[in-house]
Amino acid sequence: MSNTPNLQLPYVAAGQSQKHVTVNEGLRALDALVHMGVASRGQASPPANPAEGQRYLVPAGATGTFAAHAGDIAAWQDGGWLFYAPRAGWLSWVADEALLLAYTGAGWVIAAGQYQNLPMVGINASADTTNRLAVSAPATLLNHAGNGHQVKVNKAASSETASLLFQSNWSGRAEMGLAGDDRFRLKVSGDGANWANALEIAPGGTLGIGTGAGNAAVTLAGAIRLAAYPVAGLPSASGMGAGAIVMVSNESGGAVPAFSDGTLWRRFTDRALVS
């Protein structure tokens, strides 16, 4: 063997003359490869005035002296470019991207591996022991991988909380989910301290608006306001479907609620056709 197996440093041969030449060659390689940090991996042509010792990862399609050295480490040493072929497992810090790369044997990739069981992750933000995933960004995209996509919020027991909280300046304004039981609630607040149930759905499907869900399909906490239309502006009774309810604002005798029989609008008061 004339070179070391990993860094390919030259050995000094027995009885070799001018041993300093071989030693200096090895030192140059060590200086280029140990604790490797390159200026860039996007420098397609050699820079005009490189600093002594400056290094680059040569990209595909490079030109000039860099041509035919894609993937190699180019180092400006002793007034010229020297090229070092990487080996699997080598690492390099890319300064202009603040990125650590690893050589797989086939190419340079981000030296991340598989992220599993990380204690916390902060993306442009600082995570903590409560908010173990923290993201600070204009938007967060969760995309499908071929078909649909689900966001799952799981709790340990019925008495715990699984919800989405919406805040204004770190003060809660709306929350939806399962809080303290298995009823779905949409709650709102004006100050983050006092909350009101805007909507509640029991596991059986009954709905409460402004109050708890009861045995009836819908339970209201107060009055209900129907959409009002003048006679000439009523929507199609058949289009709305039988059972639809509206308020007719200018019916003869005054405003009156009306229902659709599937074909026509009829007054609640006497079932007469709205006219």
Q: One digit per residue, pLDDT tens: the chain, 275 residues?
A: 687 666 667 777 877 788 877 887 887 878 777 888 999 999 999 999 999 989 999 999 999 999 999 999 999 988 999 999 999 999 999 999 988 999 999 999 888 776 777 788 999 999 999 999 999 999 999 999 999 999 999 999 999 999 999 999 999 999 999 999 999 999 999 999 999 999 999 999 999 999 999 999 999 999 999 999 999 999 999 999 999 999 999 998 899 999 999 999 999 999 999 98
Cβ within 8 Å of residue 261, ≥6 positions away = 237, 242
Burial of 66 (0-12, 13-18, 19+ CB in 10 A): buried
Given a contact cutoff of 8 angstroms between Cβ atoms, the answer to whether 89 and 102 are in contact is yes
End-to-end Cα, the chain, rounded Å: 105
The whole-angstrom separation of Cα 58 and Cα 69 is 6
Neighbours of 246 (CB within 10 A): 19
**CA–CA separation, 148 and 232 (whole Å):** 44
How many Cβ atoms sit within 10 Å of the Cβ of residue 222? 8
Q: Strand order in 80-84's β-sheet?
A: 55-57, 73-77, 80-84
Please check whether residue 124 is in contact with residue 137, taking contact to mean a CB–CB distance below 8 angstroms.
Answer: yes
User: Phi, psi at residue 89, to the nearest 5°?
Assistant: 100, -10
